Amino acid sequence: MAVTQLSKSNIVPFDRETCNSNLQVAVRLKKPIRLLEHNSKIIAWIYGEIGSFLHTNYPIMVQRYFASNVKGVKAVKAIQLLHRELIVITKENKIPLLHSMGSYYDSSDTFVRILERDGWTRQGYLAVFQTGHPFRLPETAQAEKLGGTPYGGHGANRAPTEELRDFRYG
């Protein structure tokens, strides 16, 4: 199913052997992988992985792959059921956030809109579910509480420093 989805475009080349090998490794390592069957046939699957971002000090569950070969109401139900399974796993592991990314092929963000209707927060083609488990407050919020300067966001509202103006790529 995933290979079929990947083959819709040649923007991101893929290798079938690598796909199969990586999935087999994930299964052996007991990564969160769940299948959905209908009439004894797999109709959808999801693969999650616990990780973190470079700017966080807490774990995050990330949906690495979701694939389905059904349409309409069955597709919506598959998205909901498999993501609910990831929520259960995320909560069992006391992980505060679960991220699920839709596809850049989905220009109307239908995938994450389905999750949004199921209680997720949506930003573009990213859906985020907060489990309620604690995670450390962002440094900026702590700085503000202590009377520090709030973060302005990648320097968007500041003029470049003298050092930056003089920096040359070479």
CATH number, domain at 75? 3.40.630.30
pTM listed for this prediction: 0.72
Residue 31 in domain: yes
| Residue 13: how many other CB atoms lie within 10 Å | 8
Confidence label for 148 from pLDDT (cuts 50, 70 and 90): very low
- Is 89 in contact with 64 (CB distance < 8 Å)? no
Note the helical H segments in 52-95.
72-92
Residue 159 in domain: no
Number of domain units in the chain = 1
Residue 164 in domain: no
Per-residue pLDDT of 7-54, as tens digits, reads 556 666 778 888 889 889 999 999 999 999 999 999 999 999 999 888
Amino acid 8: pLDDT: 59
Residue 106 in domain: yes
Strand-strand pairing, 121-123 and 126-130: antiparallel
Residue 154 in domain: no
**Mean pLDDT over residues 58-83, rounded?**
93
Residue 71 in domain: yes
pLDDT at 106 over 60: yes
Q: Which domain holds residue 144?
A: 2-149
- Is 48 in contact with 32 (CB distance < 8 Å)? yes
Per-residue pLDDT of 74-92, as tens digits, reads 999 999 999 999 999 999 9
- On average, the pLDDT of the chain sits at 80
Amino acid 33: pLDDT: 93
